[in-house]
Amino acid sequence: MQLVESGGGSVQAGGSLRLSCAASGYAYKNYGTYCMGWFRQAPGKEREGVAAINSAGATIYADSEKDRFTISQDNDKNTLYLQMNDLKPEDSAMYYCAAEAPCWTPVLMEPAYNYWGQGTQVTVSS
């Protein structure tokens, strides 16, 4: 399974970005249920979960992001999105897309996902 992220970039604090993750090469949808998520890793820090969603549309967010970030998916395009608003310098990190199937409950724990993208960089300046 291939996951390719895009949409990262440099913005000023208070700005917005929408990340995309295109999934291909694996019939994960044949399992009937799957989960996809966004994680991020800043220099010198551990990778942390940001948001996740399952095939039914149930979502989970990290507490610090739930009022600013929105995870969504376009099943026809096999694409996962992360809309990020009111960005802060502490949001600067490499953002990774992850996926797992079968999966029923979206979680923000790395070991729950076996498929990862290469990441897209987000830099927020003050």
Please report the pLDDT score of residue 25 as a whole number: 76
Cα distances from 97 to residues 2, 6, 26, 122, 126, in angstroms, run: 10, 10, 15, 13, 26
Mean pLDDT, range 84-105, rounded to an integer: 96
Residues with Cβ within 8 Å of residue 113, at least 6 apart in sequence = 35, 37, 98, 99, 100
29-88 confidence digits (pLDDT tens): 677 789 999 999 999 999 999 999 999 999 999 998 889 999 999 988 899 999 999 999
Please report the pLDDT score of residue 62 as a whole number: 96
- Pinpoint the alpha helices (H) of 49-123: none
Of the chain, the percentage scoring pLDDT greater than 90 comes to 84
Tokens found for residue 52: 């996740």
The better pLDDT of the pair 39, 1 is held by 39
Q: Coil, strand or helix: which one is 30?
A: helix
Cα distances from 20 to residues 3, 46, 76, 78, in angstroms, run: 10, 22, 14, 10
How is residue 11 annotated by DSSP? E
Please report the pLDDT score of residue 27 as a whole number: 66
